Amino acid sequence: MSVNGCHGDGPAGRTTYRSPLAARYASPEMSFLFSDAHKFQTWRLLWLFLAEAEQKLGLPITDEQIEEMRVNLDNIDYSVAAEEEKRLRHDVMAHVHTFGRCCPKAAGIIHLGATSCYVGDNTDLITLKKAFDLLLPKVARVISRLADFATEHANLPTLGFTHFQPAQLTTVGKRCCLWIQDLCMDLERLTRARDDLRFRGVKGTTGTQASFLQLFEGDHQKVEELDRMVTERAGFQRAFLITGQTYTRKVDIEVLSVLASLGASVHKISTDIRLLASLKELEEPFEKQQIGSSAMPYKRNPMRCERCCSLARHLMTLIMDPLQTASVQWLERTLDDSANRRLCLAEAFLTADTILNTLQNISEGLVVYPKVIERRIRQELPFMATENIIMAMVKAGSSRQVERFLKEEVRPLLKSYESQMDVKVELNL
């Protein structure tokens, strides 16, 4: 039986589920950050950083052991690791053993004094930082493209809408600035979230560094220096002073909060474009060979904006995962965070990456239809003039109370006149 419409290389890719975020939407660079290859290579890199620092601080680790680890950072036998994890029921120890097979001389000092969260949590923090580094330029590019569009159409009048009802005039460029302002706020918040990330560091099983104090025979200064050295090698300026077994899961809340906020901005922008496309005033890029509908070929569906809205909704809902996870981390830690975080952190960044890539494509090819805009303005112009008339009356000494005066004073008088004279006054007050 053939399986159609699936993505992936080889039979396994066609007959097993793969997340559309990785298989269909997100960039290769973002997908790689959340791949097994990046994860386990980073684990090995962290084990190398730890061994190098422990050696410099006096533990009996040889240059030969360090070099053996270094040359085997990317030499990962995933089949061996899978066998070890099936046997041990522990992913970190499975990879400790797998790394040890590549480095028989260094096997005894790999992961020395560390707990699983040394590689697990620190790798997550490194990945989050790199993921922000991928997103930030994409937000900036979208802002830049929209700024070009806003400049080009800064003086093109268009009908403004409140409650999606005709209001007063604005310009196409001014409306675009509403979108830009939201994205500028997102850029600031994303940058701040990235810069606020701290390394978990070298903290031991419950955050007390007890195992490292034992290794260094109670020398607190050396343990603190070990933490500082590894943090610096990992590319962080700061580490948490206080942790349980994990870094506080409040960090995940902060990270997904700014991504959810970005999702709200992209959804609003995309929805606005969809509404304007329905009015035929503005349109996203539409390729020459693109098919709008299989049954209605005249249609020009805003499918890119619709995709942005669809994925942005998913991104916005993901914030509930870290909120609930952080709230139920008993005492120093519980493991019910693990499986949930494997899903929500990766999906949040892959989704954010996708909607930014798509929004950039949209912003680079927006099409404006000035004649349609002009026709709609002319249709509404008589109604828009009422505000100017009221302002002129105010300047002339009248007030906004005219309407009340007409209803409360004039209407009763006319009603009385109609009754007395037996005539109908055709005045709608």
Task: Kindly report the average pLDDT of the chain as a whole number.
Answer: 88
Please name every residue paired with 368 in a beta bridge, in sequence order, or none if there are none: 282
The structure's pTM equals: 0.85
- Is residue 163 annotated as part of the catalytic site, yes or no? yes
Question: What 8-state DSSP symbol labels residue 199?
Answer: B
Q: What is the dihedral of CA 108, 110, 116, 118, to 10 degrees?
A: 140
The answer to whether the CB of 266 falls within 8 A of the CB of 355 is: yes
Q: Please give the angle made by the CA atoms of 138, 13 and 355, to the nearest 5 degrees.
A: 20
d(CA 248, CA 260): 20
The answer to whether the CB of 325 falls within 8 A of the CB of 340 is: yes
- Is residue 95 annotated as part of the catalytic site, yes or no? no
Predicted local distance difference test score (pLDDT) of residue 406? 57
Question: What angle do the packed helices 338-363 and 250-278 form, to 10 degrees?
Answer: 30
Compute the chain's Rg from CA coordinates: 31
Predicted local distance difference test score (pLDDT) of residue 384? 76
Catalytic, out of 2, 79, 163, 294: 163
Please name every residue paired with 169 in a beta bridge, in sequence order, or none if there are none: 159
Alpha helices in 16-115 (DSSP H): 20, 28-33, 36-56, 63-71, 78-88, 91-102
The answer to whether the CB of 241 falls within 8 A of the CB of 119 is: no
d(CA 100, CA 94): 10
Going through 131-253 in order, the beta strands assigned E by DSSP cover 157-162, 165-171
Q: What is the pLDDT of residues 312-360, one digit of tens each?
A: 999 999 999 999 999 999 999 999 889 999 999 999 999 999 999 999 9
d(CA 191, CA 26): 21
| Other residues' Cβ atoms within 10 Å of the Cβ of residue 113 | 22
Q: What are the structural domains of the chain?
A: 20-102 (1.10.275.10), 116-287+299-368 (1.20.200.10), 373-417 (no CATH)
d(CA 241, CA 203): 9
Which residues of the chain carry a pLDDT beneath 70?
1-13, 287-299, 389-429
Predicted local distance difference test score (pLDDT) of residue 387? 72
Catalytic, out of 144, 293, 398, 399: 293
Tokens 């580094």, residue? 133
Predicted local distance difference test score (pLDDT) of residue 429? 45
Predicted local distance difference test score (pLDDT) of residue 27? 95
Tokens 């005249």, residue? 298
Query: What are the CA-CA distances from residue 175 to residues 73, 261, 337 (Å)?
Result: 51, 20, 42
Sorted by sequence, the CB contacts under 8 Å of residue 273 that are 6+ apart come out as 282, 284, 302, 305, 362, 366
Please name every residue paired with 239 in a beta bridge, in sequence order, or none if there are none: 199
Predicted local distance difference test score (pLDDT) of residue 305? 96
